[in-house]
Chain A
Amino acid sequence: MDVFGSFALLLAFVCAVFAFGGGIAAILTRHPLLIKSARQAGMATCGLIFLATFSLEYLFFTDNFSVAYVVSHSNRDLSALYKITALWSGMEGSLLFWSFLLAIYVLSVLITYRNKNGELMPYVGVVMAGVQLFFLMLNNFVESPFKVLASSGADGVMSFVSRADGNGLNALLQYPEMAIHPPNLYSGYTGFTIPFAFALGALLARYPGEKWIHLTRKWTMIAWMFQSCGILLGAHWAYAVLGWGGYWGWDPVENASLLPWLTGTAFLHSVMMQEKRGMMKVWNVWLVFTTFLLCIMGTFLTRSGVVQSVHAFAQSNIGSWFVAFMGITLAVCFVAYVKNSDYLKTENHLDSMISRESSFLFNNLLFLWACISVLSGTLFPVFSEWFTGNRISVGAPYFNRVNIPVGLLILFLTGVGPLLAWRKTSTESLKKNFGWPLLVGVVAGATTFALGFRDFFSVTCWTLCAFVAATILLEFYRGAKVIRSRSGASYPACAVDLTMRNTRRYGGYIIHMGMVFVFIGLAGAAFNRDVQKSMRAGDTMQIGPYTLLLQGGDTNAEHNYTAQRMNVEVLRANKPMMMLFPEKRRFAGNNQENGTMVAIYSTWKEDLYVVFAGTDPETREPVIHAFLNPLVKWIWFGGVVVVFGTILALLPNRRSVLVLAPSQQPVAGQPLPHAVTTQVALREGHD
């Protein structure tokens, strides 16, 4: 099966070469058969990548310990779920997994648009094939997952060998969330290839209008949703498994996943300017290019060993391949832009400083600022080593200091933006729209201050959260009120009706609401506290209102690990509440690694987070580390709301958004009749 997998990968490479080269020839000659064959080669590439991926999974499931990758990342006792996830647990497999996910996207695009957009699709196909070609090159010639073990005998002749068992999977990866976190994150990374292919393809083809934006919107949103999910699941995994009490450590690999998310979010906002007003065309194209390049950079940072990270794969010389690919991609983008920049001429200009358009400009500025700050902070140790010879570390305190104010400004704009009208906002409109939300924000801020909270950023954050939540609720209320005045239905029913009439706008508001919840949770981190204590059975420790009583511990041998479990009783006001069972796991396999299973009692108010840290080296007593982390549940809940809002925004509208009189052609300089102006004046909110 390893030969079959290798052969499938090699054939996929050949097909990708044809899809790429044949595609270019098809564009130059416009020969229909060549166009068709290039497309079919693209499809065949995807099919062959699927076969190669399934072959590797087959090798895991059949415990084929003659393959080096299987030996390094699996063992006989590994459960079926983790034999699947072992695919992406190492460098070679994760790169194949990249190709696999990209193939799913590429195949979906090729099938969806096989009979549509004939002028654009050959260009898109070539770009997608180019990206696939790069990864297949790595899969075949640099980091092949199908390498077999061999040893040389006394006579110097090489022979294949097979091991009795494998080393096992990294303990930190043996957790259910690891089954979904990387696929989500990688789906985000790979998904941004599609908008990139459409943007570059449209630029090269000088494809008229904003159609490429419409075509890619759902692909961008899908990629963005996966990226958001991946980031949050990664944070949750870090929280529940690593046992350090936090969820985001500004580790370089975490930062790498955040970078394309930031530019992708900026793109999802600024793209509205192009759709509505024909503005920011250059900016949007470059945002898509940048997002894609940052995805590649994220993959490069994780694998090249340029930055130190607990998440990083083993170091290898793969970095130079990525640098070359990024360089070529950037050069192609730049040449395409220079040659076709007249195609990106803006059609409209700004009417007023106080308008939705200018709020989008500032929104983009802040996202880009955050992105560049995180990127330069992440790479600063490398730069400092180049320039001074000393590696100056840049840790969480720096990133918090730089990014918290940016985050708050973005939060502020989240509230302000939707209240501003397209083109121009009048003073009356400002007063009308901002009155209640401002009042809510001020009252919330004053209350938190009066209650004794003095952390400036947390209080500001909650003030802004209240302000933004009020603006969103007000938008729903106003829209629902109009529908209610006609239908007489209840407010919730009208709000649902309203949302389904314009899923993009109200889905967007729901995403904003989700982000408000996330921010509420993030602000709670300023009030985290923890206690660590060596304890004997019967000992207690106090944290906040909780008393933890260690009742004892036991050891259980499980299928692939041995768990040492502590039985901790939680009391509140001397009344027993529950039992928590934090664990320390020692995994089988040659690696003999340790894993932590944190026990968490989670409420909307706070998380009681209990870790069995291990045994005190001096006293040999178990050490319990307890944390009280306020409002963490809001972060995960916010993530769920964001995903829900994104799915909603992807749904088609139930009814027509704009009622237009088809025969009505306005005369330049004459105002339109009221019925049309109010509907088309682009006051419509977040879509």
Chain B
Amino acid sequence: MTKHRTLVATLALLGMATLPLIVPAGAEQFSERAKRVGSQVNCMCGSCNMTAAGCSHPGGEFSGPCPAAKAMLQEIDQRGDKGETDEQIIQAFVKQFGSTVYAEPPKSGFSLVAWVMPTGYLVLGTLLVILVISRWLKKNASEVPASSGAAAKVISPELLERARKLAEQETKE
């Protein structure tokens, strides 16, 4: 029995551990840089609402990178070959097309708000949850009589009644 259990556990372990083995590694046609930078700028054809690297035209005559996206990807490669950094290439596009070229808001000016908001929510939310938990814990501690150390583990009649009702409800459904 123990052997059987160990075997099952080992197989399950190996199964999960080797799952990612089946994932291949990558290679492509446009350069890596073109794809990387191209995914940070929008295709400026004005009709697809997609990034330059991911441009396709659903419902259009041609479903793939349009001439505008292709030109942008080529420009990325050309500028990259000249030694420009990713950021310099993006800034060149911003000069050319304005801030609408950004696929994600830049981390400066008003756009910074877009980045601060999620972090702010998280910090506020976490603080709120911690506050609620600590208040509940304090309240609970003040309600439990000091003499009964094991009182917290005891089920109150209300809780028992709740559980009973729940059980009745669930068996009725």
CA distance A584 to B158 in the complex (A): 66
Q: Say whether B103 contacts A396, CB under 8 Å.
A: yes
The residue of chain A having its C-beta at the shortest distance from the C-beta of B101 within the complex is A393
A-facing residues in B34-79 (Cβ within 8 Å): 39-40, 42, 49-51, 54, 56, 58-65, 67
Q: Give the chain B neighbours of A466 by CB distance below 8 A.
A: 16-17, 19
Q: Say whether B12 contacts A380, CB under 8 Å.
A: no
Main secondary structure of the interface of A (DSSP, over half): mixed
CB distance from A632 to the nearest CB of B (A): 11
Contact with A along B87-109 (1 / 0, CB 8 A): 00000000000111011110001
Q: Say whether A625 contacts B114, CB under 8 Å.
A: no
The residue of chain A having its C-beta at the shortest distance from the C-beta of B62 within the complex is A614
B2 contacts the other chain (CB 8 A): no
A-B contact pairs, 23 of them (CB 8 A): A243-B63, A245-B56, A249-B54, A276-B166, A349-B139, A361-B132, A384-B111, A387-B110, A394-B105, A443-B17, A444-B17, A444-B20, A470-B12, A529-B28, A545-B24, A613-B62, A614-B61, A614-B64, A623-B62, A660-B163, A668-B156, A680-B160, A687-B170
CB distance from B17 to the nearest CB of A (A): 4
Q: Say whether A392 contacts B114, CB under 8 Å.
A: yes
Q: Say whether A669 contacts B117, CB under 8 Å.
A: no
Q: Say whether B159 contacts A277, CB under 8 Å.
A: yes
A156 contacts the other chain (CB 8 A): no
Starting from the known contacts A246-B54, A369-B118, 9 additional A-B residue pairs (CB-CB under 8 Å) come to: A242-B58, A350-B140, A353-B133, A388-B110, A465-B16, A594-B63, A613-B56, A652-B172, A666-B154
Q: Say whether B158 contacts A347, CB under 8 Å.
A: yes
A residues in contact (CB < 8 Å) with B: 170-172, 209, 214, 218, 241-246, 249, 251, 275-278, 308-310, 347-353, 358, 361-362, 365, 368-369, 372-373, 376-377, 380, 383-384, 387-388, 390-398, 401-402, 423-424, 436, 439-440, 443-444, 446-448, 451-453, 459, 462, 465-466, 469-470, 473, 504, 520, 524, 527-533, 544-545, 584, 593-596, 604-606, 611, 613-615, 617, 623, 625, 628, 630-631, 652-653, 655-658, 660, 665-666, 668-672, 677, 680-682, 687
Q: Which of the listed residues B17, B143, B154 has the most CB atoms from chain A within 10 Å of its own CB?
A: B17
Q: Give the chain B neighbours of A630 by CB distance below 8 A.
A: 22-24
Q: Say whether A350 contacts B12, CB under 8 Å.
A: no
Q: Say whether B150 contacts A596, CB under 8 Å.
A: no
Q: Say whether B9 contacts A436, CB under 8 Å.
A: yes
Q: Beyond A365-B125, A384-B110, A605-B22, is A625–B64 a contact (Cβ under 8 Å)?
A: yes
Q: Which of the listed residues B29, B99, B102 has the most CB atoms from chain A within 10 Å of its own CB?
A: B29
Q: Give the chain A neighbours of B28 by CB distance below 8 A.
A: 529-531
Q: Say whether B150 contacts A373, CB under 8 Å.
A: no
Q: Say whether A625 contacts B63, CB under 8 Å.
A: yes
Q: Give the chain B neighbours of A531 by CB distance below 8 A.
A: 28-29
Q: Say whether A653 contacts B24, CB under 8 Å.
A: no
Q: Say whether B21 contacts A451, CB under 8 Å.
A: yes
Q: Which of the listed residues A387, A545, A614 has the most CB atoms from chain B within 10 Å of its own CB?
A: A614
CB distance from A419 to the nearest CB of B (A): 17
CA distance A656 to B133 in the complex (A): 33
CA distance A465 to B29 in the complex (A): 32
Q: Give the chain A neighbours of B162 by CB distance below 8 A.
A: 275-278
Contact of B12 among A424, A459, A473 (CB under 8 A): A473
Q: Give the chain A neighbours of B117 by CB distance below 8 A.
A: 372-373, 376
CB distance from B136 to the nearest CB of A (A): 4
Main secondary structure of the interface of B (DSSP, over half): helix
Q: Give the chain A neighbours of B64 by CB distance below 8 A.
A: 532, 611, 613-614, 623, 625
B7 contacts the other chain (CB 8 A): no
Q: Beyond A369-B118, A594-B59, is A605–B23 a contact (Cβ under 8 Å)?
A: yes
Q: Say whether B23 contacts A628, CB under 8 Å.
A: no
Q: Say whether B56 contacts A529, CB under 8 Å.
A: no
CA distance A423 to B162 in the complex (A): 15
Contact of A361 among B26, B56, B122, B133 (CB under 8 A): B133
CA distance A214 to B168 in the complex (A): 11
Q: Say whether B114 contacts A660, CB under 8 Å.
A: no
CA distance A429 to B21 in the complex (A): 33
The residue of chain A having its C-beta at the shortest distance from the C-beta of B171 within the complex is A656
Q: Beyond A393-B102, A532-B29, A671-B150, is A631–B137 a contact (Cβ under 8 Å)?
A: no
Q: Say whether B63 contacts A397, CB under 8 Å.
A: no
Q: Say whether A244 contacts B12, CB under 8 Å.
A: no
Q: Give the chain B neighbours of A446 by CB distance below 8 A.
A: 17
CA distance A9 to B155 in the complex (A): 56
CB distance from A626 to the nearest CB of B (A): 10
CB distance from A304 to the nearest CB of B (A): 17
B33 contacts the other chain (CB 8 A): no
Q: Give the chain A neighbours of B173 by CB distance below 8 A.
A: 218, 652-653
CB distance from B133 to the nearest CB of A (A): 6
CA distance A368 to B122 in the complex (A): 9
CB distance from B116 to the nearest CB of A (A): 10
Q: Say whether B54 contacts A447, CB under 8 Å.
A: no
Q: Say whether B155 contacts A680, CB under 8 Å.
A: yes
CB distance from B135 to the nearest CB of A (A): 8
Contact of A529 among B26, B151, B152, B172 (CB under 8 A): B26
The residue of chain A having its C-beta at the shortest distance from the C-beta of B70 within the complex is A532
Contact with A along B127-142 (1 / 0, CB 8 A): 0110011001101100
The residue of chain A having its C-beta at the shortest distance from the C-beta of B42 within the complex is A393
Q: Give the chain B neighbours of A631 by CB distance below 8 A.
A: 22-23
Q: Say whether A665 contacts B157, CB under 8 Å.
A: yes
Q: Beyond A349-B143, A447-B18, is A628–B24 a contact (Cβ under 8 Å)?
A: yes
CA distance A348 to B173 in the complex (A): 26
Q: Say whether A392 contacts B105, CB under 8 Å.
A: yes
Q: Give the chain B neighbours of A451 by CB distance below 8 A.
A: 20-21
The residue of chain B having its C-beta at the shortest distance from the C-beta of A364 within the complex is B129
CA distance A246 to B53 in the complex (A): 12
Q: Give the chain B neighbours of A532 by CB distance below 8 A.
A: 29, 64-65
Q: Say whether A447 contacts B20, CB under 8 Å.
A: yes
Q: Give the chain B neighbours of A348 by CB distance below 8 A.
A: 159
CB distance from B166 to the nearest CB of A (A): 6
Q: Beyond A362-B129, A596-B63, A613-B63, is A681–B102 a contact (Cβ under 8 Å)?
A: no
CA distance A387 to B166 in the complex (A): 52
